[in-house]
Structure 1
Amino acid sequence: MIEIPAAFAEAKARDEGRRGRAWIAQLPLLIDELLQRWSCTPVGPVMHGQVGIVVPVHHRDLPPSVIKVSFPHPGNSHEPDGYTAWQGQGATHLFARADEHFAMLLERTSQRTLATITNPEQALVIQGRLSHRLSVAAPPELPKLSDRTAEWERKILSTAAIFGHPLPTAVMDTALATLRELGPEQPDTLVHGDLHDANILASDREPWLAVDPKVYVGDPAHEALNVIRSPRFADLLRSADMRRGLRRLLDIYCDAAQLDIERTRRWLQFGAVREAMWGRRHNDPEWLIHATDHLAEALL
């Protein structure tokens, strides 16, 4: 029987309370059941992220694989739908799924992330091209970003009021105008939803593959926030003269992703406002809140 990493077990018990502790307690038995169902043998130490564990396994008829089991939550329910739509093109292959357990049998990648690419422009091109490849026609019945616009606006306005309207009026008005004008009508395109450095992994089959999608339907320009608000650009996000550098980054990314730069700029500015407010509600570090505020202003 596998052993659940202590750090992961403690985090789930802390964050999810009694439900988290109960899930952790039954997880070893669940993994054993899945190993038998999918005729797999564990071959390495158990790994984990924030929402689930990953068990490297061997299957006699498949390439190197992993069993991933995520904590049962609506936000994790559509991940296999994304993998099914992509069919291994730009993302890891899905070999089997057990939706009742939030579990999947997936192609194994390396653990080397895009963060190991030290040339920032090279990383932007990789992210942009991968985003374009993943922007396929969305299957039916997946959550739509257009359905979240009313909730986003409500939370932005209520948070701004709670925290004494910390952003200039022009910054807020611009973000809300984008939401109202571009939000209701978005393409029926599959969006990864969380395409940052740690979710892009090196692979033997392709140079880079996407993992851990949130899976939404909407405008692929939404991905730009995870690309630009990145630790690799921390110095730029803190600089007094951010605008020129941002324009260069957007040019490179949008060219690689085949996105309209003005539409992407507008969604990026809105996303920065939304995340600045979310960060205040959830106690993000002060430097990150300040950097996100600065980003929202620089994109006017």
Structure 2
Amino acid sequence: MVRFVGGAARGWLDALPELEAEMCERWQVSPGDELGGGTLALVRVVRRDDGSEAVLKLASPWDRPSDEISSLRAWDGGHAPLLLEADASRGALLIERIAPGMRAVDATAEDVARLLDRLHVPPPRGLPTLDEVVARRIDRAGSDGRATPQRVAWARSALERLRADPPAPVLVHGDFDDRNLLACARRGLCAIDPLACAGDGAYDAAYWIHANRRPGRRARFEAMVAATGSDRQRLRDWCGIVAVHG
């Protein structure tokens, strides 16, 4: 986290044990194993008084916990974890644990399209716009040296094209790849850990297609177009943007 955020993260990390103890006592849960994969939050399995398992997430300020709380409330446990408790001021969330919870790396475009249709509800008030989130991601890719100036310029131009004719905004997951797509016994597929924003839902489809540069992007693109009837050029532009910012 210090490498990603800088020295400001040290104070938050130093206070984390006390915060964890406070939230476990308040919500009457017993801490279990830490769950890996998070950069900007502590995520741990906990056990509730009734014996059931849940997930305690203690999100740093850089993880936008208020936006995650808003999105989970909007989805209300439909195809995302149910929010059991939340304290935005402390960056603390107690959420349903998804079972069996394996990464859904083999999900089909049809299954993903159905999930996105359920996630793309009207956005809660106060979320950042997708345009501003993506613009920051493009700029960061350039400043970090992950994208050449030419690719950054192309991505900015593509974003302007997309802005010129926007669809009605929806609640966008914002980090929709197989790391955050889990198999769920009750739902089939379940989306976790949103970086929620308001904008064009095709961005989530493009994020899934990109899949952290896993092979098969062209096949996923064609399958997603067939499953959703998406505008090919619009989806292609979003795919190109996601490839630039990573």
Specify whether residues 177 and 62 from structure 1 end up closer, same or farther in structure 2 by C-alpha distance, changes over 3 A only.
farther
1:229 match: secondary structure: helix
Task: Please point out which of 72, 75, 81 is paired with 1:83.
Answer: 72
Specify whether residues 267 and 97 from structure 1 end up closer, same or farther in structure 2 by C-alpha distance, changes over 3 A only.
same
The residue number in structure 2 matching 1:46 is 34
Q: CA deviation at 1:172?
A: 5.7
Is 1:195 matched with 2:184? Answer: no
Higher alpha-carbon Rg: 1
CA distance in 1, matches of 2:56, 2:191: 16
* Alpha-carbon contact 2:82-2:95 (below 8 Å) kept: yes
* Alpha-carbon contact 1:124-1:253 (below 8 Å) kept: yes
Specify whether residues 76 and 255 from structure 1 end up closer, same or farther in structure 2 by C-alpha distance, changes over 3 A only.
farther
Q: CA deviation at 1:123?
A: 3.3
AA of the residue aligned to 2:35: M
* Alpha-carbon contact 2:40-2:63 (below 8 Å) kept: no
Q: What's the TM-score, normalizing by structure 1?
A: 0.68
* Alpha-carbon contact 2:103-2:181 (below 8 Å) kept: yes
Task: Please point out which of 10, 34, 37 is paired with 1:21.
Answer: 10
Q: CA RMSD in A?
A: 3.2
2:42 match: secondary structure: strand
AA of the residue aligned to 2:170: T
Is 1:95 matched with 2:84? Answer: yes
* Alpha-carbon contact 1:132-1:257 (below 8 Å) kept: no
**Range moving further from structure 2, 220-229 or 254-263:** 254-263
Q: CA deviation at 1:128?
A: 2.4
Identity of aligned residues (%): 29
The correspondence of residues 230-241 of structure 1 with structure 2, limited to 5 A, is 230=211, 233-234=214-215, 236=216
Q: CA deviation at 1:146?
A: 3.5
The residue number in structure 2 matching 1:36 is 25
CA distance in 1, matches of 2:128, 2:178: 24
Specify whether residues 37 and 178 from structure 1 end up closer, same or farther in structure 2 by C-alpha distance, changes over 3 A only.
same
The residue number in structure 2 matching 1:179 is 159
Specify whether residues 270 and 30 from structure 1 end up closer, same or farther in structure 2 by C-alpha distance, changes over 3 A only.
closer
CA distance in 2, matches of 1:182, 1:145: 11
Task: Please point out which of 10, 30, 53 is paired with 1:64.
Answer: 53
Q: CA deviation at 1:63?
A: 4.8
**What number of residue pairs does the alignment pair up?**
241
The correspondence of residues 141-290 of structure 1 with structure 2, limited to 5 A, is 141-147=126-132, 155=139, 166=150, 175-183=155-163, 185-230=166-211, 233-234=214-215, 236=216, 246=218, 248-257=219-228, 259-272=230-243, 274-275=244-245
1:250 match: secondary structure: helix
Which protein is richer in strand relative to its size? Answer: 2
Q: CA deviation at 1:62?
A: 8.4
AA of the residue aligned to 1:36: E
Q: What's the TM-score, normalizing by structure 2?
A: 0.82
Q: CA deviation at 1:126?
A: 2.9
Task: Please point out which of 89, 113, 118 is paired with 1:133.
Answer: 118
Unaligned runs of 5+ in 2: none
CA distance in 2, matches of 1:203, 1:150: 33
CA distance in 2, matches of 1:180, 1:231: 24
The residue number in structure 1 matching 2:103 is 113
